[in-house]
Each structure stands twice: as C-alpha cells, then as structure tokens.
C-alpha cells in the first residue's frame, strides 16, 4: 500500500441514533504518530447534552431490541461485520494514518473485529447464553411443596463503551465490548477515542448502516466524540446507562468506577486497566534452552512496540548459570530490535518518563536497549530491559507498575521459594506465564495456587501476547488488571457482563418467555431438573 491518506467523505460528525451531528464544544484532529502532524478533518466535540440524547435514544430502543429473536439479532451482528469488511483498503489506510501500526497488524485486527462479531452471532443462535434453568413444581413435597421456578438471563440495558487507544478496531467502536453487549440485547453508546477519530467514524457508519438495514430502532447504536472528563463522566453517570465497558489507563478506569459508584443507582464498570504479566523462568527450563527462551521473550516484548495489554513487563527467575545465559542473550538481541512508532505522542511521552524512572531507580541494572530511534521520528519507542534483586523489587512497589511500551524488569531471586514470595506481593494481572520442564513441576505446583489468586490466564511454555478469541478464553484478572476479576472482555463469556438472572415462579405457561417455555421453542440447551437437555 502507498502512503496512507485520510478517507474521503469523512465529516467529523458524531452519530446520535440515525442523525449525524457536529459537536460544538471544541474540535480535535487525528495526529499521524510517525510525523507528529495533524491529519484529516476536524471532529466536533460533544457535551453532556449529546450524551443525554444518545443515552435517551438507547433507553427508548432497549425494549424493542431486547425482544429481538435469535436470528434477527445474529443477522444484525453479521451485517455489521460485512459492512466493516466492505470498507476494505479505505479502512486500512485510515487506521495506518492514525495509529502508525504496521499494515499486517491492521489487516489482522480487522479480521479479529469481524470474527468477534460473527462469533457472537453464533452465540446468539446457540442460545445457551440465556442460562435457562427449570425446576417444575412438586406439590407433594414435604415438609413444604416446591413451586415451579424457572430462570433465564436478560440484558441489563444500554451499555456505554469506551474505545481503546491500542486497538483502534478490536477494542474500540465495534470491538469486543460492543459485540458482546449487542449480542446480549443491549443498545450501545460508544465514546470514540480521540487518537483515531476517522477510523471511528468509518466503523461507526458501518454499524449505523447495519442498524437501519436491519430495521432496528435508531437508538441501538450511537457514538459521541468528546473530552473524557466531560463526555466520559456524563456517560457513566447517565441514568439510562446500565453498565460500562472500558479499556485504558488505570487512572481513567478508576475515575469511571468512582462516577458509576456515586450514582443514585450504581452500575458495574468492566474496566481493563493495568497489567505487567509476570513470566516465571524456572531453573529446568533455563538449563534446557535459555537462549531460545530469551529470543521468545524479546519477540513478545517488542511486538507492537510493547503497546499490548499482555506484554511481558516482568520476568522472575532464580540466579544461576541459566539466568546468566538468558540475560546475555537478551542483551545481544535488543540492539537489533528497531525502535517503533508508538500510538500517540502522549503514550510515547509517558513511556519515556517511565523508562527514565526505571533506569534511575536504586538497585536497577540495564541489561540492554533497542536500537536508537531514527532522526525525525518523534514518537518511536526504544526497548529496554533491566534487572533488579528480588528484595529491592518488593521494597519498591513502583518497579511493579505498568510502563506501557517495550520495557521490562527482570527480578532475580535466590531460589524458587523466593519466587513464590515475590508472586504473593504482585498486584492483580491479566496473565502469568511459566517457562518450565518436567523437572520444574514441583516449583510450578507451588506457584499455581498463588497465581490463581492473582491472574485471569495462566500459560505454560508460551508468551502472553496474542489472545485467542474463543469459547474458553479469559482476558481479565483481579484489580488493577480489571475492575472486576470475575469477568472477561475477550471470548464468548464476555456476554455475561451485560446479562442478569431473573427467576419466574409459578408463572402461567402462556406467559413464560421462550427460553424457559415448556416446549423449548428456541431449541436451546437448558438445565431441567438439574440435567442438561434440549427437550
């Protein structure tokens, strides 16, 4: 592809249902992170007034949208996917312009975005998300009769989704939060991320068109532009919004949690925020292939300039010959890793400040750095790996904070027992990885119960970057990785965030909703008298 150009026909307007509206509370333009120059059209920023319109439309649409049948809702999700795919090279060019990401990554992210939508369409058709349970009446039971009780899950209501900076597509306007909320039967109001407004307009248009083409109420989807403290807070506080999906910084996520908790009727915020994804290099694995592990580590650390929520920002290992070989190899590999364009000037500045704090911290030794950024490349990030003794790491909590980018801390412990003690001090994380052989299984067995309390996903002999979107995936973890460690933002289980259970006791048969009706008109799997059946 030639030098990317802004898509033609972009208007700078937000979507308030079927209306296109230009905000009047200031403007924002995208910045090409490779040059630092503003590009594309100006986007009008909205205010609490636009949020009120969007949220009110969503509330009005909810009764109709929640009642859509499985085929209608699934077909709508597939139409959104088709519309996004039809944008083709126009969308690719816009993402490249606004993010500086490499083209293969962008095309892969488009595939992931449309794939998620199609996956949730299959979830809707399958129907098991209803969680149907049936216990029929036992009037002769003693000492008390049992009533007829049936349970299913219903959509919570309109959901506010906040677009992420590091995934302009897969975690943004039509990303996993939006796909799972729409699949659950919830209208969505998106706050577009200011780093990629043109990408957001293109994808927002694809969704808005799908809403109209499917004959759905206009309030099923809206998208607003605006400053986080104004528009974001107004969204989280609006009484029509019943849940929030967010991917971003710990500071912004906690702020949204506070707004949502302070409402007259508090609502859940599902925020993915901060993770350094510890990797444990156990002695047997290092003895067997320290150099190969080092190569995998450097590749994972530098993928996407380290701007992935699962980047391995922390390594823990026992001092010895194997670790020495690992560190030597890392030091040899890093200078060959090119500096990479980071997503925004702000992210780059924050990363550089974090690097400065790391290298100046007491007890820290630099293992190696990546290649020097090129002249005239204002947002290129240079990889960094440092080591620190375990006792120093534990004594300085700042060393365990996320520095979003390709920097990583290697913690050196005296023995495997010390690894367990350090693991007990780590904050909640999205992932933990163990590099281990059969000889390490005793040490791994000691670590596993600790890690189960700390993370949402445990990997063996792999790397945390690269999250498969499927039925069993968990992309979540205890605070501060997420605001609710019981949930996931990736995979089909993500739909559970936007559903709540309702029980129906002794409801007449002709009034029962389809998922728990006697004849099972949807043909779904249900738990009847404790047994799974489609009867």
**Known catalytic residue: 227?**
no
What confidence tier does 274 reach under pLDDT thresholds 50, 70, 90? Answer: very high
- Is the pLDDT at 410 greater than 80? The verdict is yes
- Is the pLDDT at 4 greater than 90? The verdict is no
Residue 117 lies in a domain: yes
Biggest alpha carbon distance in the chain? 84
Give me the CATH number covering residue 190: 3.40.605.10
When pLDDT is averaged across residues 332-345 and rounded to a whole number, the result is 96
- Domain count along the chain: 2
Q: Find the catalytic residue in 98, 201, 309, 380.
A: 309
When pLDDT is averaged across residues 160-166 and rounded to a whole number, the result is 96
Same domain for 267 and 359? Answer: no
C-alpha span between 244 and 487 (Å, rounded): 13
Same domain for 446 and 361? Answer: yes
When pLDDT is averaged across residues 473-481 and rounded to a whole number, the result is 97
Q: Find the catalytic residue in 78, 109, 201, 272.
A: 272
Residue 505 lies in a domain: no
Q: Is the dihedral of CA 292, 298, 304, 306 positive or negative?
A: positive
Residue 183 lies in a domain: yes
Over pLDDT 70: what percentage of the chain? 99
What confidence tier does 218 reach under pLDDT thresholds 50, 70, 90? Answer: very high
Same domain for 162 and 243? Answer: yes
Last residue of a domain, one of 410, 441, 460: 460
Same domain for 347 and 453? Answer: yes
Same domain for 238 and 298? Answer: no
Same domain for 305 and 264? Answer: no
Same domain for 336 and 264? Answer: no
- Is the pLDDT at 3 greater than 70? The verdict is no
Residue 476 lies in a domain: no
Nearest to 221 by CA among 229, 231, 212: 212
When pLDDT is averaged across residues 465-490 and rounded to a whole number, the result is 95
Residue 425 lies in a domain: yes
Give me the CATH number covering residue 376: 3.40.309.10
Check if the beta carbon of residue 234 is closer than 8 Å to that of residue 49: no
When pLDDT is averaged across residues 443-472 and rounded to a whole number, the result is 96
- Is the pLDDT at 468 greater than 70? The verdict is yes
Same domain for 269 and 293? Answer: no
**Known catalytic residue: 309?**
yes
Q: How far is CA 121 from the centre of its chain?
A: 19
Residue 23 lies in a domain: yes
Same domain for 256 and 309? Answer: no
- For the residues of 108-120, what is the DSSP string, one character each? HHHHHHHHHHHHH
Residue 475 lies in a domain: no
Same domain for 124 and 24? Answer: yes
Domain, as residue range, for 306: 278-460
Mean pLDDT of the chain: 96
pLDDT tens digit sequence for 39-53: 999 999 999 999 999
C-alpha span between 323 and 136 (Å, rounded): 62
Same domain for 305 and 407? Answer: yes
Other Cβ atoms within 10 Å of 461 Cβ, number: 12
Per DSSP bridges, beta strands 340-341 and 380-381 are antiparallel
- Is the pLDDT at 1 greater than 80? The verdict is no
Same domain for 265 and 298? Answer: no
pLDDT tens digit sequence for 524-534: 999 999 999 99
């Amino acid at each position: 592809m030639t030098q990317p150009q802004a898509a033609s026909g972009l208007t700078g307007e937000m979507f308030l249902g079927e209306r296109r509206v230009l905000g009047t509370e200031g403007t924002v333009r995208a910045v090409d992170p490779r040059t630092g120059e503003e590009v594309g059209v100006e986007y009008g920023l909205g205010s609490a007034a636009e949020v009120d319109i969007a949220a009110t439309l969503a509330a009005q649409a909810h009764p109709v949208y929640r009642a859509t049948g499985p085929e209608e809702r699934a077909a709508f999700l597939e139409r959104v996917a088709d519309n996004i795919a039809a944008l083709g090279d126009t969308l690719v060019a816009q993402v490249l312009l606004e993010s500086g990401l490499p083209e293969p990554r962008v095309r892969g992210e488009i595939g992931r975005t449309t794939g998620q939508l199609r996956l949730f369409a299959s979830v809707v058709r399958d129907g098991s998300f209803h969680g149907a349970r049936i216990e029929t009446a036992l009037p002769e039971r003693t000492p008390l009769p049992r009533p007829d009780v049936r349970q299913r899950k219903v959509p919570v209501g309109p959901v506010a989704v906040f677009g992420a900076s590091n995934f302009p597509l897969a975690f943004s306007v039509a990303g996993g939060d939006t796909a799972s909320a729409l699949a659950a039967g919830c209208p969505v109001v998106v706050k577009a991320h200011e780093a990629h407004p043109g990408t957001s307009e293109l994808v927002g248009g694809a969704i808005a068109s799908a809403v109209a083409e499917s004959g759905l109420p206009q309030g099923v989807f809206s998208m607003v532009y605006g400053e986080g403290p104004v528009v974001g807070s107004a969204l989280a506080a609006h009484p029509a919004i019943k849940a929030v999906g967010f991917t971003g910084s710990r500071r912004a996520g906690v702020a949204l949690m506070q707004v949502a908790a302070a409402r007259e009727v508090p609502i859940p915020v599902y925020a993915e925020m901060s993770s350094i994804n510890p990797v444990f290099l156990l002695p047997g694995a290092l003895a067997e292939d320290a150099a190969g592990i080092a190569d995998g580590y450097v590749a994972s650390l530098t993928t996407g300039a380290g701007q992935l929520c699962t980047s391995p920002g922390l390594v823990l290992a026992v001092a010895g010959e194997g670790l020495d070989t690992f560190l030597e190899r890392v030091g040899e590999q890093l200078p060959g890793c090119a500096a990479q364009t980071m997503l925004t000037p702000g992210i780059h500045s924050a990363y550089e400040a974090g690097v400065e704090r790391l290298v100046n911290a007491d007890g820290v030794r630099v293992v190696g750095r990546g290649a020097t950024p090129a002249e005239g490349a204002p947002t290129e990030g240079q990889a960094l790996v440092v080591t620190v003794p375990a006792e120093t790491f534990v004594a300085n909590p700042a060393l365990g904070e996320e520095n979003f980018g390709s920097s990583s801390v290697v913690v050196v412990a005296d023995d495997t027992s010390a690894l367990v003690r350090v693991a007990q001090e780590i904050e909640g994380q999205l992932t933990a990885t163990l590099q281990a052989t059969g000889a390490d299984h005793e040490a791994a067995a000691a670590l596993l119960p600790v890690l189960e309390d700390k993370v949402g996903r445990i990997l063996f002999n792999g790397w945390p970057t690269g999250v498969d979107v499927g039925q069993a995936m968990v992309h979540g973890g205890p605070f501060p990785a997420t605001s609710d460690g019981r949930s996931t933002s990736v995979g089909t289980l993500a739909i559970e965030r936007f559903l709540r259970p309702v029980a129906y006791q002794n409801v007449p048969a002709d009034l029962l909703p389809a998922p728990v009706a006697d004849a099972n008109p949807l043909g779904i799997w249900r738990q009847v008298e404790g047994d799974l059946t489609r009867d």
